[in-house]
Amino acid sequence: MQTGRTSPPGGRDGAGPVAAVALSASSVQAGAAFGATLFPLIGPFGVTGMRQIVSAVALLAVARPPLLRLGIRRLLPAVLLGVVLVAMNFSLYSAVQRIGLGLGVTVEFLGPLGVALVGARASGPRAVAARIGCGALALAGVVLITDPLNGARVDVVGLAFGAAAALLWAAYILLNQRAGALPGVTGTAVAGLTGTVLTLPVLVLLLLAVPEEALPRVLLVGAVTGVLSSALPYSIDLIVLRRMPRSLFGMLQSLHPVAAAVFGVLVLHQLLVPVQLAGIAAVCLANVLAVVVARRAR
């Protein structure tokens, strides 16, 4: 079943949400690139904690959710969303630390691709074959980003973190729709508060270990990371998912690997070889084809 608006993405009603998703993807990956510069000082978990606390402060100030009036039952999806966000961000940053931003995000992107494939709900031999073809294309893309032609060493742990982030991203999409039932950006604010409670104790210990001369930079870059990677894009996603089908939202996430590759070069100077760029393109194309197949089936 589709939810939200069903206007074509290129139409008058669809242009705004599509542009919003593009802005969200660019913001997430720019923030992730800046956050990755803090790995030597506070590690992936520290950057995750910085994202969460900045997001929570910003969103709670805007939303001011009436938590007691809403009740735990209505808030539960948002609380679970906060747990998923912490695990997803930590997994992604751990992957980025090992295999780079562009490649880490591409592997993580298999999550929304899976949502698009499962959400197709198509039956029949041709539909099944199309799904298998999309999955095979995505798998081929992941193989290409490991650059097997040059005999590059495969960081299995990095790929495993990316795969974990992919599963958690799929859960994020599903839970975000549930949390979207709350008014305004209350769902995102509660998720940020939950993430802060989970990460703050460890974050304080990590910050205490940072050299005094580096602490202002850590706090500034951490604040920028939190706004770009959490507060702004998650609020956009929460609102957009009310206006477009989940499968279309999953297709537009194809922008994330591309944006990650761009900001990986601009901020982190992580250059990719042509074979790896082809792998990123293959994963993105698999996602677009999955949504096309789903729409034809409907």
Q: Which residues of 164-192 are buried (b: 16+ CB within 10 A; e: fewer)?
A: bbbbbbbbbbebbbbbbebeebbbbbbbb
- In the chain, how many domains are there? 1
- Name the stretches of the chain with pLDDT < 50: 1-12
Residue 152 lies in a domain: yes
Residues of the domain holding 43: 12-297
Question: Per the structure block, which two tokens stand in for 36?
Answer: 């990755």
pLDDT computed for residue 11 by the predictor:
42
Residue 122 lies in a domain: yes
For residue 262, count other CB atoms closer than 10 A to its CB.
16
pLDDT computed for residue 297 by the predictor:
60
Contact 112, 253 (CB under 8 A): yes
Residue 1 lies in a domain: no
Instruction: Compute the distance between CA of residue 138 and CA of residue 150 in angstroms, rounded to an integer.
Output: 20
Instruction: Compute the distance between CA of residue 94 and CA of residue 43 in angstroms, rounded to an integer.
Output: 8
Residue 140 lies in a domain: yes
Residue 118 lies in a domain: yes
pLDDT computed for residue 67 by the predictor:
66
Contact 32, 210 (CB under 8 A): no
Residue 289 lies in a domain: yes
Residue 6 lies in a domain: no
What digits encode the pLDDT tens for the residues 119-157? 666 566 777 788 888 888 998 998 888 876 676 677 899
Residue with tokens 């698999």: 286
All residues at 6 or more sequence positions from 177 whose CB lies less than 8 Å from its CB, including other chains: 3, 241, 246
Stated as kind and residue range, the H or E segment containing 288 is helix 274-297
Residue 137 lies in a domain: yes
- Predicted TM-score (pTM) of this structure: 0.83
Taking each helix axis from N to C end, the angle separating 274-297 and 125-145, rounded to the nearest 10 degrees, works out to 160
Identity of residue 16: G
